[in-house]
Amino acid sequence: MIGNAENSIRFAELFHVCRPKVRVQRPEPCVSRPLVLTDHVRNTGPQAVGVPMLYSSTVLKHFTNPSNAGRLEDANAVGQAGTPGQGNYLVLHLRIAGDRVVKATFQSYGCPGAIASGSVTTELVAGKTVEEAATISPRTILDALDGLPLGRAHCAELAAAALKDALGHYIRG
């Protein structure tokens, strides 16, 4: 895990998931069971190997109460990263005035890390010049989130790619 283990809490302790029974003819009431998220040691994504994913308190804050979530109607720069329907997907909307990012919002479909990365990116980019915003890297996003669990660094890369795409569209006009 990248980040501070002291500030991390188990995602599984906060959320529960209902798992339907196999080969049930009629729907039965779903019993709430703890959601156990695991991650493969080789950084290849979620696998059932028994390594619990721990998210920092900063990630959980941005996941449960994301900043600047939603569409920005008067955006003059929009960037996308990921492929809809094929994993994590993030759209970043920017309103730029006088070469400065005035407002930033995001829309995301993905895991807690992707949502938190989109949220923190909007906070990092707000008020910066286009040149300053272009220097925001996946490492900057990871640091702002106090890290992400093993195998989830791609979420910060997704947010950085969406930002780069939005700035590219703005610069090209």
Domain boundaries, the chain: 5-56, 60-172
Residues belonging to the chain: 173
Q: What was the pLDDT predicted at 5?
A: 44
DSSP result, 95-122: EEETTEEEEEEEEEES-HHHHHHHHHHH
In the structure encoding, which two tokens stand for residue 55, read together? Answer: 């998210």
- For the chain, which ranges sit under pLDDT 50? 1-49, 51
pTM of the model: 0.71
Q: What was the pLDDT predicted at 18?
A: 41
Q: What was the pLDDT predicted at 112?
A: 93
60-172 belongs to which CATH class?
A: alpha beta
Containing 32, the helix (H) or strand (E) segment is: strand 32-34
Q: What was the pLDDT predicted at 150?
A: 87
Q: What was the pLDDT predicted at 52?
A: 61
The 3-state DSSP class for residue 94 equals strand
Q: What was the pLDDT predicted at 124?
A: 97
d(CA 74, CA 85) in angstroms, rounded, equals 26
Q: What was the pLDDT predicted at 98?
A: 92
